[in-house]
Chain A
Amino acid sequence: MILRLAFGSLLARVLTVGMTILAIALSVALFLGVEKIRTGAKASFADTISGTDLIVGARSGSVQLLLYSVFRIGNATNNMTWVSYQDIADRPEVDWIVPISLGDSHRQFRVMGTTPAFFERYKYRSGQSLAVRDGAIMSDLFDTVIGADVAATLGYDIGDPIVVAHGLASFSQHKDQPFRISGILEKTGTPVDRTVIVSLEAIEAVHVDWQSGAQVPGKSTPADVIRQMELEPQAVTAALVGVKSRLQVFGLQRSINEYAQEPLLAILPGVALQELWQIVGIAETALIAVSAMVVVTALIGMMATIFSSLNERRREMAIFRAMGARPRVVLCLLVLEAVVTAAIGAIFGLVLLYVGLFVGQPLIDSAFGLWLPIEAPTMREIWVLFGVVAAGAIVSMVPALRAYRMSVADGMIVRI
């Protein structure tokens, strides 16, 4: 019955209590949402590349090499020569090698030249392979395969022609050699979704009439002539390497890093991802801290609400005291009220999170390429909810202790 009275008292103040619950719910939803985005981002980050033992490129920093070769962020400071590439490919430890040639773009998307082996060797999300959703991979020199986001954003379909621009955000286009879309890939949640893939030879082909970054005036070799040409690249941007035995990874990395003919860099993708995440991690920690502060603010708001309700509830507490309730009962009632409020807020927050996920999932995916899975709450999230309720009980002790002292002093006679 005491419980029923406590609920009755809460219901009687439904508006203020409701506001408190709403504040707690929003803060909890924000905190859990940030947590979801953080773990989602981290997972999709780590899932970007797998099955590749080494990434090789011109010597720069490991994070930079990872950024431009895998995430297509930033640019290579230099290329590696085709000779060095061949040299590495011929080494006995090397099981497979896939070249990557970057530098051109189509609209806001990067163009990547590679070999058909890329589709077979590139793995993401613990060993998943790329799959073609529509059409097929390149068969002609001027065929291209585009990522799911490219197709969705630009509304492309199989057979559509596209023109590649020289460089990034450039106005000089390779108009003479338009490509035809031969295939569209399944969505992967990786940078591949935002990449236009052509063959390595095609990268050479569009540059046939070009010298020093500009088209030679008046020169335009017909496509059929280009098809007959020997299109061996001079250089590639980077290469993905698989070794025959995992034990040889470090030996190969070392020898590539010490390659005398050209300054090269070989990195372990996993290690470089870790380094990169350490950099991003600071922002992530700040984000968590801010959303934790929001939760704390909401709880302090609840404390303030309980404080301000004390005066109007003095009568209620005096009645309890007059009926024989100990001051301890008054204290427990207030703490209980806080726990109930915080618990309802926490549960409501969880509901808000899932509603938000259902609504926001496709939006976040299309805007940021971040796929947030909708799953049952994790142990960690349940602990967060418990933590909020416990913290609610603790902060409510402050007004509850004041009420305790007040009800000892007031006894059963209240003069207001």
Chain B
Amino acid sequence: MARIELDLAHAYGRNPKQDSDYALLPLRMTFEDGGAYALLGPSGCGKTTMLNIMSGLLAPSQGSVYFDGVEVTRASPQARNIAQVFQFPVIYDTMTVAENLAFPLRNRQVPKAQVDRRVAEIAEILEMSGQLNQRAANLAADEKQKISLGRGLVRPDVTAVLFDEPLTVIDPHLKWQLRRKIKQIHHDLKLTMIYVTHDQVEALTFADQVVVMTRGRAVQVGTAAELFERPGHTFVGHFIGSPGMNFLTGVAARNSFLIDPVDLPMPPSRTLPPGELKLGVRPEYVSLVAPGTPGALPMSVTQVQDVGTHVMLCASFAGQSVKARMPSDAAHFSKGDNVWLQVMTEHTCFYQNEEIVA
């Protein structure tokens, strides 16, 4: 188990001049010992680069990595004693399950009795005790991934387990099982685990803290609730939630927000910096209200999607659109109807230059 600290940046070329030259913009981050973290973001955001820098497969072009306060920036993965699970199962085809699990320990010249005991323990945790003598090559993808994971766990002093989109080749109906198993192992063994994914469901269900990344930048670190309630960046608002947050542009004065031509009054407890801002509100918090209610906008319905458990209503106003998640009785609306939707709520956030300001 280890506490990992990062204070680094990574660029491809020699002399990075602008942001686009960086794979990872300068960042400082700490991953606490025993924590479960997810690195979440779309393709190319730098999450795999960060993972590889942590595991030692890549050295950052500038800055350092610390494990429990010790600098390990140029140390190999072996030296850092980490475990890594890759996108596709990596196992030794010619060995049995037991031999696969025993491999890291055998390479360290651990005595046979101890090896056998440890292998049995880990197989128990992975629920693979009955398959120890089967050839690893003949197993299904999810079992092979468990073996990959097991090889990491079998070392008692493993510092952290790093996952690089491990469910990519797993059958959809087996994904949740494997996810549950990983979470259980984290709960039981209290290892530091860092999980890279582009799937927000995976990230939000697995991790205590999620690092949301885009284009080389870590834009927010927080719990699932924090990311949902108070996205620190419009990207987080977009990316988290299905569908993501609604954004409306307008001009703020001290006590009101003007979305031409409607002026929305602000409650006394909230003040806004003046200037052009974006109002962000999640579809889950947009509600249907009586015409003229303060904080609501008169909108025209553009689309009604009945999803069964709820209805997704799309409406537009002055060229901007809003999605609202409504209970099923809203299905009676149709295109062109006039509705008033409350967008100013206690859950509404305001953004200036994409960053949250209120």
Whether chain B is bound by chain A comes out as no
Mark B residues whose CB is within 8 Å of A: none
